Structure 1
Amino acid sequence: MGVKQRVVLITGATSGIGAGIAHRFGQCGALVAVAGRNVERGMEVVESIQRMGTRAMFVEHELKDELAPLRVISEVEASLGPVEILVHSAGWSVFKPTTDVTPDLFDQIFQRNVKGLYFLTAAALPGMIRRRHGRVILISSIAALRGINGHSLYCASKAALDQLACAWAAEYARYGINFNTVAPGMVATPMTAELTADPQLVAAVKAATPDGRLGTPEDIAHAVLFLADDNALHVQGNTIVVDGGWIVPPGGFA
């Protein structure tokens, strides 16, 4: 059936990977709810989708607000209709050696990367169960699959998403709801700007990547769109790695 006229809610959609995903859904005729904290950037994404001739809206979403999940779902469903596809692209990272991590920083990262999406999913599930149809797609990271120096919290929080997809699939697949993750490699976005501004680091990543380039938000959006389509009906609890082969061992074998 594709995603035309289906309602999709995308968190972290005001820039970077999330905005790329929102644009791709808009191009395919979905009804797009752009969720995020930055109203100005969010409205720019909404307006660009509306210029494609499809409906879109912005909904303010603060991951630290414990009352946000029910409000966000309610606002989207009142404006566009039942949320059928939920894409979690919001996330945050900070470089810190483990010995410098404070309990407050630990809580902040897991609040933004895990807790917020957990309860937004919980708010969307009753409707999906009732309709016996839904797609939940979590944007994980290559960091969930390989250690990254100085990013222990980010690695752990993204690995949690992969396991949530598995656990939710075991719990709710019988209701016609699919749960999967997409794990990007290094993608040039505002969140990775500090890293991608280092030409030596970028050159090293490209050299270690079989297809020789960094990823783009569009690369990630294509994988998300596949998982949102009914052609992926039998894909459950899986992670699609979109990294140009960065995770492949040198020479292609261990």
Structure 2
Amino acid sequence: MDIATLKMKGLLGPLTAAPEAPAGFPFGLGAVGLHEVAETAYGDRAAATGFVLAATRPAQAGAWLWVSQTRFADDLGQVPEAALRHMQGQPPPRLSVKVRTLPDALWVIEEAVVSGAVSLVIAEVEAADFTATRRLTLASGRHGVPVILLMPQTREGATAAATRWRIHPRPSAPNRYDPQAPGHPRWRAVLERCRTAPNAAGTVFDLEWNDETLSLGVVSGLAAGPAAPRPVAREAPSRRKAG
């Protein structure tokens, strides 16, 4: 369906300019601007996706666009609607696009932002150089549509994104009903880069997701302070697993 048809069906609507990025956690993730969320190691994609869905609360109503390169869509599958409901409560309509190449993915992302027809773009891409992230940053700021790039553990180098996060799963919280069962999911989120709060770069957040209150909080006693050196990433296929 084209954009006009989607608007007629009530899936898309007019949007207003996004607010300025806040200087506190999660530093505008999913609310304004371009952000990168990368795996710490091979196999961390589920944790990275869970972090994005838990931390993202778009400032505007409207459909989401989820863009996936074929290599990730085939290896990892798509996030099911049940997962979106679990993390977002009443999730917005989601449009999914699968493309083969990185240039195609970047084109789709930018066109979606420029159209103003969606409230958020989440994209699983293999890379994005400084020029590409600069274009997306400018488009996002001009049209008020935030963008999140989900990226593999090999992500390094310069970026124009507002933030770059590095995510790794932690053991789940104790289950108060069954000590043998998993509890609330936990993640370690390292803020590698932050343009709105440069002094926060390198901060480690140990986080816990509460599926009863749909809230994300810092775990008392687990905050680790500055990030430890990260091992050199290796290129490898990735499978989405439980965070």
Normalised TM-score (structure 1): 0.40
- From the two aligned structures, give the one with the greater helix fraction: 1
Q: Give me the TM-score of the superposition, normalised by structure 2.
A: 0.41
